[in-house]
Amino acid sequence: MQEVLTAGRYFRKHFNCNVYKTPISILGFTCPNIDGSKARGGCVFCENESFSPNLGIQKPKGFLLNHTSVENPFIASQLVQLESQFNQTKKILAKKFKAKKFLVYFQSFTNTYAPFKTLKALYDKALSFEDTIGISIGTRADSIEKEILEYLSEKAKTKEIWIEYGIQSVYNETLEKINRAETIEDIEKQIKLTRKYGIKVCAHLIFGLPGETQEMMLESVKKAIELGVESIKIHPLYVVKKTALANDFKKKQFTPISEEEYIDTLVKTIKLIPKEMMVQRITAGISDDSLLSPFWCNNKHRQMYNIKEALKKEGYEY
Helix (H, G, I), strand (E, B) or coil at 33: coil
In whole angstroms, give the CA distance from residue 239 to residue 292: 5
d(CA 180, CA 137): 19
Please state the closest distance from residue 139 (CB atom) to ligand SF4, in A.
Answer: 8
End-to-end CA distance of the chain: 10
Q: Which x/- pattern, by CB under 6 A, does the window 157-176 give for ligand SF4?
A: ---------x----------
One of 23, 28, 42, 210 touching ligand SF4 (CB under 6 A): 42
Give the interface segment with ligand SF4, choosing from 13-21, 41-49, 78-86, 202-210 (CB under 6 A). 41-49
- Shortest approach of ligand SF4 to residue 181 CB, angstroms? 8
CB of 272 to ligand SF4, least distance (A): 25
Nearest in space to 52 (alpha carbons), one of 119, 111, 11, 5:
111
Q: Which residues pair with 166 in a beta bridge?
A: 204
Minimum Å distance from CB 138 to ligand SF4?
8
Residue 35 DSSP one-character state: B
Q: How far is the CB of 32 from ligand SF4 (least distance, A)?
A: 7
Residue 43 three-state SS: coil
Q: Determine the Cα–Cα distance for residues 153 and 158; give it in Å rounded to an integer.
A: 10
Least CB distance to ligand SF4 at residue 166 (A): 6
Is residue 137 at the binding interface for ligand SF4, with CB under 6 A as the rule?
no
**Cβ distance to ligand SF4 smaller for residue 132 or 190:** 190
**Binding string to ligand SF4 for residues 93 to 132, with x set by CB under 6 A, is what?**
----------------xx----------------------
318 contacts ligand SF4 (rule: CB under 6 A): no
Segment 47-66, which members bind ligand SF4 (CB under 6 A)?
48
Exposure b/e, 204-219, CB count within 10 A at least 16 = b: bbbbbbbebeeebbbe
Amino acid at 222: K
CA dist 175 and 171 (Å) reads 6
Query: Judged by CB under 6 A, which stretch of 29-37, 62-70, 89-97, 126-134 contacts ligand SF4?
Result: 29-37
Q: What are phi and psi of 131, to 5 degrees?
A: 70, 15
